[in-house]
Chain A
Amino acid sequence: DQQVKQNSPSLSVQEGRISILNCDYTNSMFDYFLWYKKYPAEGPTFLISISSIKDKNEDGRFTVFLNKSAKHLSLHIVPSQPGDSAVYFCAAGGSGTYKYIFGTGTRLKVLA
């Protein structure tokens, strides 16, 4: 049973446009959510997180939105750059958790 789902395996976006990556979860106990970026031959890199007391968190070009009623979060990248081309993983866990559940990843390609 996949508790965290990324239903789009891949996404292509033109440079300068917005990239929107989506993530759905099923466990209502999750209250802390994260996004990671992964380049080939490297480990994942933490990008941005959000707790359930917020519905939006921004860090530069990256914004994460959380819709608790829909059990859905999204990562917006504006403007998209070729260097953003990578696999993006969302992850979720309970507050104070030692354990996170990761999605299967979405491969983003930003076209120059």
Chain B
Amino acid sequence: EAQVTQNPRYLITVTGKKLTVTCSQNMNHEYMSWYRQDPGLGLRQIYYSMNVEVTDKGDVPEGYKVSRKEKRNFPLILESPSPNQTSLYFCASRMGQGGPEAFFGQGTRLTVV
């Protein structure tokens, strides 16, 4: 089954404690991205990756890092989380340039206290 898998689904952490949200896709897609969803703001892109070792900033990259060492994985790293990063996070993938964001993960609800 084609899917994008995020882990964990729910996470409560404390300010400043480094964390990683994993994202994996099984469709050999070149393109992956991370979004956050906040009330009244919709989905905003954090980072995207066009292929292995190729990443770029989206609209709200501050406070986040990503890496793309393998095609299937695209982890989101919060080196020093702050309460304003409390949000619902989605990973997405698609085959390549153009076309819709075809597949989204189920989301990770992060709370930073």
Contacts and interface: CB of A to CB of B under 8 A. Distances in A.
Given A43-B90, A44-B90, A91-B43, 16 more contacts: A6-B42, A41-B107, A43-B103, A43-B106, A44-B101, A44-B104, A89-B42, A96-B97, A97-B97, A98-B56, A98-B97, A99-B48, A102-B42, A102-B44, A103-B42, A104-B40
B104 A43 contact: yes
A43 B107 contact: yes
Interface string A79-112: 0000000000101000111111111110000000
Which 5 interchain pairs have the tightest Cβ spacing? A43-B104, A102-B43, A104-B42, A102-B42, A96-B98
- Bin chain B's interface residue count: 20 to 34
A34 interface: yes
Q: Which of A4, A42, A98, A100 has the most CB of B within 10 A?
A: A98
B45 A100 contact: yes
A46 B56 contact: no
Main secondary structure of the interface of B (DSSP, over half): strand
B50 interface: yes
A80 B45 CA distance: 31
- Bin chain A's interface residue count: 20 to 34
B104 A45 contact: yes
B4 interface: yes
A22 interface: no
Main secondary structure of the interface of A (DSSP, over half): loop
Contact of A95 (B40, B43, B98, B107): B98
Nearest to B104: A43
Interface string B77-101: 0000000000000101000011011
A45 B35 CA distance: 14
A19 interface: no
Q: Which of B97, B98, B100 has the most CB of A within 10 A?
A: B100
B42 A105 contact: yes
A74 interface: no
